[in-house]
Amino acid sequence: MRFELSETQQLLQKTARQFLTNECPMAEVRKRMETDNPHDAALHKKMAEQGWTGMIFPEEYGGMALGMVELAATFEQMGRVLLPGAFFSTVALAGSILDAAGNPEQKAKWLTPICEGTALATAALIEESPEWETATWSATAKASGSGYVLDGKKMFVTDAATADFIVAAVKLSGELALVVVPANAPGLSVRALRSYDLTRRVSEVSFQGVNVGADHLLAKGAAAEAALHHGLNVAVLALTAEMAGGMARALEITTEYAKTRKQFDTVIGKFQAVQHLCADMYLWTESSRAAVYYAAYALDKRLPEADAAISVAKVYAGDSYREVGNRGIQVHGGMGFTWENDMHLFYRRAKASESALGETAYHRERLARLVIDAV
Amino acid sequence: MRFELSETQQLLQKTARQFLTNECPMAEVRKRMETDNPHDAALHKKMAEQGWTGMIFPEEYGGMALGMVELAATFEQMGRVLLPGAFFSTVALAGSILDAAGNPEQKAKWLTPICEGTALATAALIEESPEWETATWSATAKASGSGYVLDGKKMFVTDAATADFIVAAVKLSGELALVVVPANAPGLSVRALRSYDLTRRVSEVSFQGVNVGADHLLAKGAAAEAALHHGLNVAVLALTAEMAGGMARALEITTEYAKTRKQFDTVIGKFQAVQHLCADMYLWTESSRAAVYYAAYALDKRLPEADAAISVAKVYAGDSYREVGNRGIQVHGGMGFTWENDMHLFYRRAKASESALGETAYHRERLARLVIDAV
Amino acid sequence: MDLTLTPEQIQFRDELRAWLKANVPAPVPRGTEESMEQRFARLRVWQRQLFDAGWAGVSWPKDCGGRGASLLEQVIFLEEMARAQAPQMANTLGLGLIGPTIIHYGTQEQKMRYLPKILSAEEIWCQGFSEPNAGSDVAGIRSDGRLDGDHFVINAHKVWNSYGWVADWCALVVRTDPTAAKHKGLTYILVDMKSPGVEVRPIRQMSGESEFAELYFRDVRVPVANVLGKVNSGWEVALGTLMHERATLGSSITIVYRRMFDKLVAYTKNTIRSGRPLSEDKGIRQKLAQAYAELEVFRVAQLRSVARVSSTGVPGPEGSFLKIFWSEYNQRFQQLAQEIMGPYGTLEEGSPYAIDGGEWAYGFLRTRGNTIEAGTSEIQRNIIGHFVLGFPKSY
Amino acid sequence: MDLTLTPEQIQFRDELRAWLKANVPAPVPRGTEESMEQRFARLRVWQRQLFDAGWAGVSWPKDCGGRGASLLEQVIFLEEMARAQAPQMANTLGLGLIGPTIIHYGTQEQKMRYLPKILSAEEIWCQGFSEPNAGSDVAGIRSDGRLDGDHFVINAHKVWNSYGWVADWCALVVRTDPTAAKHKGLTYILVDMKSPGVEVRPIRQMSGESEFAELYFRDVRVPVANVLGKVNSGWEVALGTLMHERATLGSSITIVYRRMFDKLVAYTKNTIRSGRPLSEDKGIRQKLAQAYAELEVFRVAQLRSVARVSSTGVPGPEGSFLKIFWSEYNQRFQQLAQEIMGPYGTLEEGSPYAIDGGEWAYGFLRTRGNTIEAGTSEIQRNIIGHFVLGFPKSY
């Protein structure tokens, strides 16, 4: 039994860290986030060349067929540098749903370009009442001619503005259906929302009589529910891995500051109050990391506790990243409250992640069903 | 406008403090608490001589007709010394219900001996499901001959073992009724429960075909509900005042210890970690005190917000006393964990008070009805 | 203990309430296009209006343009202003901090010179205490004030300055005796912001706004007559100002926070999830009730503190716990709002679907400053430890 | 990353599980009349039974009576013991702390002399580290060990001693060079508790029990041969012991805590309030799920730490966060149980209506010791600050 990464996994992690530190310095992140579109196409292409866009997908579609632990190790590094743009929504969200829901032709058509880095994508799921039970969703697909026509509105769609296509969750004859909608389909409109995370944008996506071909239906009914379930587990795992990476970086920045900043004729890191704030940050960071890798392992091995492990990681990382941010800002004092200091960028990502893909209360309720009701 | 006590009130408070410090030292409390019956009859008599047993009751029954602020000021001092025994249940609980519910003859019969210090009493309210909505209670009184016969079981009755009579809340023809039951009535039995607070005992009280005269019925229906409502407000106020006093004393003991205990060649009170624990204790103590006196004032003046103010004080003091205890024990280190150290006696009182007269969750729900539903 | 108002206080309150009802300008909705300058000009007009009607400087001496009433009337004033949702007055620091300091330490000439124009908003004030290396450690000030004849020549770099961009005057603390011990050798001096050598640079906050600025003073000449209190006793004067900051801030805060609480309750009543209003969710009810309880406790603790200050005349170090209380309450409350609102809570000003114009997204981020500004929570706990509980200094 | 067990480990686990199933004695219900002595005798028999079957000292050297397996088998052993609700073994400190220290620092003679009898429970061990003035400050030990020929003459007063009343041997730390710096000059020495001059006095805890005692040593003569490690290097030996305390404790804790969690869930499902089981209350569901999440995170963080220790061989200071985690988790969890159980949660052993024999009332009070014993939370945070994050020492 070993909890640490294998040598290959460590190499992957190290490479990712080096690559991202070089290619995505904070100055670049800041430049990107001040624009309307934080996605960096050139960087995405380079990541595709590293094979990351296909990391977890089958080799026949251009992927590397690696596992969830490798996914977590890579996203952890992305979280450290606050990688802006659509990598997350393309690979972890839309890609993993496509992989689980599509037939070989569909995967060749949509998953292969994702692996190649030539297509960006996302998934449109929750609606105006931002609930994660699929039964609450009301956007529809109706059979129409040889295809389907879609109507409805989706909210908080991650990086919809840059997506080439969107996997939409709709109701088809009362059942859940997953449908691929090209971004340029007539009747599809995207309206930007302005939210905390400037490096990862969310939008409202409306479908007004959007026509798609029959081959755009990936799955419906139980198959759609299962594929979405899996895809969301993968996406939550990637998100929490990013969060663990963000916490680790925020802790580093904070301890570095506390070791140099002087007040009362001494570095503030000498004060117990400051050290204890940092010790709590350390506790949350290391604990979150353990939870994330365990969830990766459980998902990889399809252990019965995988769902619970994913929700545990989301609940814990959600509270932890926010609290790490709170204390990190507090240790920085006034500096931590300025735009120029990087702490708030991590904090904005923390808050956005906390409410993304199911808020903490939703995942707690999911756990309650698993550990109270199911017993 | 003045928030501080008036000179008369301050004098009362000072006298109470002196009296209780002299008459009820911690060694005495410890002696009492190790026995089956922590009530000290001689001390109760002395307190009656001070007029405290009749403090808030009308002069015609031997009382002093003072107000709620005076009540709070006195109980705060009692909380400081962890006064053991039945003063609280007799005066704040049974006495205040009697005062609100009884007719002049009934008050002459039962309230006068309370004021004189010759009778001890309590109230039997919640049942096996420990809920505070009177609608959930199921013990009954039935008309029988010229009086009533009582059946049912009451739980967590404060100091029932020493009571001369018990005010029982029962259902009479489906309505709430308050009935005085002499402790020696055949069919009444008291079984001691062993709970945290060794200075204030609770019992199970059973009524099995207990016969009482018609004059033992104090009130029923709306009048009973109103009297009980008032009596409980007074009792909660007294309880929270005690809690504020207990917090203040626990803080004193803790700061004294931290100023003398040495580790790492310095008094531990020099460490920020210790100071900050004590600062939190100070915040909770002073805030609780303000909440309690405001509740006393609101109840005294029968302000519309009196109910809310009482529940606010209970909610806040409940959390605060426990947290003051938690930190007080922590600052004491191993010493705080010993039987010989007084911290745990305050802590036991804190925990018992937190769950007495409506747990925190009950009072929060009461507040929710007042500030969410009623708006 | 008697919390009832005197007939005079009731009359004062009722008159004020009636006046405010008639005069408070219609609120400018969040997100309205308005420059900082336009907004400030609007607040300046509003203050002038209050001044002309005799409502500015309620507890200030009559001969300086004030009303000569007690601190309690001042508290009533702040509460009524908040209750009426009146805009704040333009000269916030002049009215709340620097004016009271001048009243306490100023000469008669200084009072007559500065106070009326503070009240009328004719002269706007800012304050220069914090420095890059003197934040929590206020006494660590390095700014240099060198005596040159009947002037001080000042070289200073101040941070976290509010209103500097519009201020006419600055209350500055500089080191005038570099050889003295840390807390000695400081001087509190009033500086004309139009003096040559003064520069103001905005600091952008994490919440996106620029409430604060950096101030640079380069060889700025200030007459010795502008010293408040004595030369080299600026620490004492500055401490007085800091105490005042704590004493009165809470009065309007409770009303503002209560309004936010009511808004959040309304949101839970109007928002349906799983077919029922959020206000019926037992978990949410418990948390809202908890927030209400805490806010009420803060209100009465603040009331108790004001009552004490108004009888003793001086705010004491025990007030530190109120600073901790409101700042940490507000952080908990805004986090609760975020939990209740979910992703909608993160939508900022200008976004479609932003709740209350993005007030909640802004409010949450802004709270992070609460436990830092006006003395960090750590400093407040140090103050309680040392000055209230009598422990040795821990810093 | 690979958390699967090897075939050998699975075989080990399955054999152990089968053995435990066949041999674990029926639990003695809480509240059964049983003296401390009777209880201990029972645990001693149980340990002997494990020893005879070859399950004691799983990771100890074979030539000392152990099984010679790795730390992971030891963890599996602890987990299976907890899972089977097996009683703990009598010689807790000998097995968990002192034995491993002897394995690491002892001479071959010492190993052969002491270890087998630790495993068989023939000799019970206790430990004497803390003193009235050396609690958190472990190096502040004043107990005196004066060399006299080939003996040390020991005068010591130790507190927070477990098992002293029944121990045959004590691992004692005394000051043997009073002139050396604080951390130098200490010696770790093994003392026969039957030596003349040893006295044991029980300390009663706030929870009512007497887990702990004070030890007095008056002119107790101990052969120099009983020193573990070198004279005057007892600090290093003691630190090793403290590290071991942290490394293995968590393994059984997670199982014990999980059982308590399951019991609490069962309570909420079986308890009706306002006509519905408590387990359907949304607020309670959220809190239980939160507790579950935290406990799971602790379990996997502990797993990660054990995996690391088993590959590096030494527990590091980073393990301090696990101590903070379980102790604070347990306090939160027991407080949650109190909230759910209301007044019933406060009923102690022997009371009518006490839930699970008073286990919850006891458990809650007992948790207050969790953040104090085995290094206070403050000390653990200091350790993380200094040794892990690299800040200057703050104490």
Using the predicted structure, report yes or no on whether residue A358 has a pLDDT greater than 90.
yes
pLDDT tens figures, A89-112: 999 999 999 999 999 999 999 999
Say if residues B188 and B197 touch (Cβ distance below 8 Å). no
Pairing of strands C151-162, C212-223: antiparallel
pLDDT for C154 equals 98
Nearest to A342 by CA among A261, A274, A244, A250: A250
Contact assignment for C281 to D286 by CB distance below 8 Å: no
Pick the CATH number of C125-232 from 3.50.50.60, 2.40.110.10, 2.40.30.10, 3.30.460.80: 2.40.110.10
Pick the residue from chain C with its C-alpha nearest to A342: C206
Pick the residue from chain D with its C-alpha nearest to A365: D286
| A135 in contact with chain D, both atoms CB, cutoff 8 A | no
Pick the CATH number of A224-374 from 3.90.1720.10, 1.10.3470.10, 1.10.3720.10, 1.20.140.10: 1.20.140.10
Using the predicted structure, report yes or no on whether residue B197 has a pLDDT greater than 80.
yes
Using the predicted structure, report yes or no on whether residue D274 has a pLDDT greater than 90.
no
How many Å apart are CA C83 and CA C77, to the nearest integer? Answer: 10
CA angle C254–C258–C260, rounded 5-degree value: 120
pLDDT for D316 equals 75
Chain-centroid distance, C-alpha B165: 17
Grade residue D72 by pLDDT with cuts at 50, 70 and 90: confident
Grade residue D343 by pLDDT with cuts at 50, 70 and 90: very high
Those residues with Cβ within 8 angstroms of residue A19's Cβ, 6 or more apart along the chain or in another chain: A46, A47, A50
How many Cβ atoms sit within 10 Å of the Cβ of residue D178?
Answer: 10
Pick the CATH number of B122-220 from 1.10.10.10, 2.40.110.10, 2.60.40.10, 3.40.50.2020: 2.40.110.10
How many Cβ atoms sit within 10 Å of the Cβ of residue D363?
Answer: 18
| B35 in contact with chain D, both atoms CB, cutoff 8 A | no
Superfamily of domain B7-119: Acyl-CoA dehydrogenase/oxidase, N-terminal domain (1.10.540.10)
What beta strand segments (E) does C195-297 contain? Answer: 198-203, 212-223, 227-228, 272-273, 276-277
Give the DSSP letter of residue C187.
E
Using the predicted structure, report yes or no on whether residue D262 has a pLDDT greater than 80.
yes
**For residues A320-329, average pLDDT:** 98
pLDDT for C36 equals 85
Query: Catalytic amino acids of D?
Result: 245
What beta strand segments (E) does C245-374 contain? Answer: 272-273, 276-277
Say if residues D384 and D317 touch (Cβ distance below 8 Å). yes
pLDDT for C209 equals 85
Q: Which of residues 306-335 of A touch D (CB under 8 A)?
A: 308-309, 311-312, 315-316
Nearest to A87 by CA among A125, A7, A32, A127: A32
SS3 B267: strand
| B140 in contact with chain C, both atoms CB, cutoff 8 A | no
**Alpha helices, DSSP H only, in chain B?**
7-23, 26-33, 41-49, 68-81, 87, 96-101, 104-106, 112-116, 221-260, 272-300, 306-332, 343-355, 360-368
Secondary structure (DSSP) of A15-70: HHHHHHHHHS-HHHHHHHHTSS----HHHHHHHHHTTGGGTTS-GGGT-----HHH
Secondary structure (DSSP) of B122-189: EEE---SS----GGG---EEEEETTEEEEEEEEEEEETGGG-SEEEEEEEETTEEEEEEEETT-TTEE
Question: Which neighbouring-strand residues pair with B122?
Answer: B166
Residue whose pair of structure tokens reads 């020893």 in the numeric block = D51
Using the predicted structure, report yes or no on whether residue D249 has a pLDDT greater than 70.
no
* A122-220 and A224-374: identical CATH topology: no
Contacting residues of C for D283, CB less than 8 Å apart: 282-283, 285-286
What is the least distance, in Å, from the CA of C287 to any CA of chain D? Answer: 9
Using the predicted structure, report yes or no on whether residue A45 has a pLDDT greater than 70.
yes
Indicate the angle between helix axes B306-332 and B343-355, nearest 10 degrees: 150
Of the residues C73, C123, C245, C359, which is catalytic? C245
CA angle D227–D231–D236, rounded 5-degree value: 90
**For residues B267-293, average pLDDT:** 98
Contact assignment for C351 to A193 by CB distance below 8 Å: yes
The tokens for A322 are 């926010």
Contact assignment for B274 to D378 by CB distance below 8 Å: yes
pLDDT for D12 equals 96
| B303 in contact with chain C, both atoms CB, cutoff 8 A | no
How many Å apart are CA A290 and CA A357, to the nearest integer? Answer: 20
Domain boundaries, chain A: 7-119, 122-220, 224-374
Tell whether the torsion through CA atoms of D94, D97, D100 and D105 is positive or negative: negative
What beta strand segments (E) does chain C contain? Answer: 125-128, 144-148, 151-162, 169-175, 186-192, 198-203, 212-223, 227-228, 272-273, 276-277
pTM above 0.80, yes or no: yes
SS3 C107: coil
Pick the residue from chain A with its C-alpha nearest to C371: A330
Name the least confident of A202-206, B179-183, D37-41, D151-155: D37-41
Contacting residues of A for D300, CB less than 8 Å apart: 290-291, 293-294
The tokens for D132 are 């009235």
How far from D339 is each of B319, C138, D147, D235, CA to CA, in Å? 11, 44, 56, 43
The minimal CB distance from A264 to the residues C343, C377, C395 is found for C395
| B124 in contact with chain D, both atoms CB, cutoff 8 A | no
SS3 A129: coil
Contact assignment for D378 to B273 by CB distance below 8 Å: yes
How many Å apart are CA D99 and CA D171, to the nearest integer? Answer: 10
Name the least confident of A191-195, B286-290, D312-316: D312-316
| B352 in contact with chain D, both atoms CB, cutoff 8 A | yes
pLDDT for D394 equals 93
How far from D370 is each of A16, A279, A300, B366, CA to CA, in Å? 41, 18, 36, 34
Mean pLDDT of chain D: 92
Subunits next to B (3 or more Cβ pairs <8 Å) are: A, C, D
pLDDT for C350 equals 93
Query: Could you tell me how many CB contacts below 8 A there are between chain A and chain B?
Result: 8
The tokens for A343 are 């702490």
Q: Which of residues 55-94 of B touch C (CB under 8 A)?
A: 69
pLDDT for D136 equals 87
Query: Could you tell me how many CB contacts below 8 A there are between chain A and chain C?
Result: 125
Grade residue D177 by pLDDT with cuts at 50, 70 and 90: very high
Say which CATH architecture domain C249-388 belongs to.
Up-down Bundle (1.20)
How many Å apart are CA B156 and CA B354, to the nearest integer? Answer: 13
Contact assignment for B333 to D136 by CB distance below 8 Å: yes
Nearest to A375 by CA among D14, D297, D285: D285
Those residues with Cβ within 8 angstroms of residue A321's Cβ, 6 or more apart along the chain or in another chain: A243, A246, A247, A284, A288, A346, A349, A350, A353, A354
pLDDT for D306 equals 84
Residue A238 region by backbone torsions, left for phi larger than 0, else alpha for psi between -120 and 50, else beta: alpha
How many Å apart are CA B212 and CA B220, to the nearest integer? Answer: 15
Residue whose pair of structure tokens reads 């925990």 in the numeric block = B351
SS3 D156: strand
How many Cα atoms within 13 Å fall on the side-chain side of residue A70? 17
Amino acid at D350: G
Contact assignment for B273 to A271 by CB distance below 8 Å: no
**For residues A313-330, average pLDDT:** 98
How many Å apart are CA B215 and CA B100, to the nearest integer? Answer: 16
What percentage of chain B reaches a pLDDT higher than 90? 98
How many Å apart are CA B15 and CA B205, to the nearest integer? Answer: 36
How many Å apart are CA C304 and CA B73, to the nearest integer? Answer: 15
Pick the residue from chain D with its C-alpha nearest to B137: D274
First to last CA, chain C: 38
Nearest to C105 by CA among C249, C221, C233, C222: C233
Contacting residues of D for C282, CB less than 8 Å apart: 281-283
Contact assignment for B337 to D364 by CB distance below 8 Å: no
Query: Could you tell me how many CB contacts below 8 A there are between chain C and chain D?
Result: 10
**For residues A128-133, average pLDDT:** 96
Domain boundaries, chain C: 7-90, 125-232, 249-388
Using the predicted structure, report yes or no on whether residue D248 has a pLDDT greater than 70.
no
What DSSP element (H or E) covers D152?
Answer: strand D151-162
HEC readout, D54-119: CCCCCCCCHHHCCCCCCHHHHHHHHHHHHHCCCCCCCCHHHHHHHHHHHHHHCCHHHHHHHHHHHH
Mean pLDDT of chain A: 97
**For residues D23-43, average pLDDT:** 87
Using the predicted structure, report yes or no on whether residue D252 has a pLDDT greater than 80.
no
Question: Which neighbouring-strand residues pair with B212?
Answer: B148
| C194 in contact with chain D, both atoms CB, cutoff 8 A | no
Residue whose pair of structure tokens reads 């890191």 in the numeric block = A269
Tens-level pLDDT at each residue, chain C (395 residues) = 888 899 999 999 999 999 999 999 998 877 778 888 999 999 999 999 999 999 999 989 998 889 999 888 888 898 899 889 899 899 999 998 899 899 999 999 999 999 999 999 999 999 999 999 998 888 899 999 999 999 999 999 999 999 999 999 999 999 999 999 988 999 999 999 999 999 999 999 998 888 899 999 999 999 999 999 999 999 999 887 776 666 666 777 888 899 999 999 999 999 999 899 999 999 999 999 999 999 999 999 998 988 888 777 777 777 889 999 999 999 999 999 999 999 999 999 999 999 999 999 999 999 999 999 989 999 999 999 999 999 999 98
Contacting residues of D for B191, CB less than 8 Å apart: 352
Q: Which of residues 260-299 of B touch A (CB under 8 A)?
A: 271-273, 276
The tokens for B182 are 């002499």
The tokens for C357 are 């114009």
Secondary structure (DSSP) of D300-341: HHHHHHHHHHHHHSS--GGGHHHHHHHHHHHHHHHHHHHHHH
Amino acid at C127: Q
Nearest to C340 by CA among C292, C258, C253, C281: C281
pLDDT tens figures, A222-245: 999 999 999 999 999 999 999 999
Contacting residues of C for A343, CB less than 8 Å apart: 206
How many Å apart are CA B245 and CA B349, to the nearest integer? Answer: 11
